Amino acid sequence: MAESTVTAPRKSQLPEPLWRHLLGDNLRRLRHERGETLGETATRAGVSPQYLSEMERGRKEPSSEMIAAVAGALDTTLVDLTLDIAERLITTRKTASVRLSANQSNFALAA
């Protein structure tokens, strides 16, 4: 497996990333969209830049209060954050399914 951070859910055949990685990616993207440094966002959220950096890289498992604080500092809410993460998960799943179907078609053609 290419990534060491994925889990294998029972229902889907496709590997899924972990919650903290999805959350971290999303927080980093939002911060970049605002053109802010780690320090700027972290100060408003009341956390250290080191902590925010670890959150963004999925190294820290943040508490729900911390998620709310950073979301607030980025002018977003839990609902928008959760929706965004869900949408990205669906896109990832679709892309992987298309890739899987394409591989199966190639296999059928080759057989």
Binding site for its own copies (CB under 8 A): 7, 9-12, 16-22, 61, 63-65, 67-69, 71-72, 75-80, 82-83, 85-86, 89-90, 93
Q: Could you tell me the smallest distance in angstroms from the CB atom of residue 89 to its own copies? A: 4
Q: Could you tell me the smallest distance in angstroms from the CB atom of residue 71 to its own copies? A: 7
**Cα separations in angstroms, 15 against 37, 45, 95:** 32, 32, 12
If DSSP codes are grouped into helix, strand and coil, which group holds residue 24?
helix
Q: Could you tell me the smallest distance in angstroms from the CB atom of residue 87 to its own copies? A: 9
Cβ nearer to its own copies, comparing 2 with 109: 2
C-alpha span between 17 and 54 (Å, rounded) = 17
- Asked if 19 and 61 touch (Cβ cutoff 8 Å), the reply is no
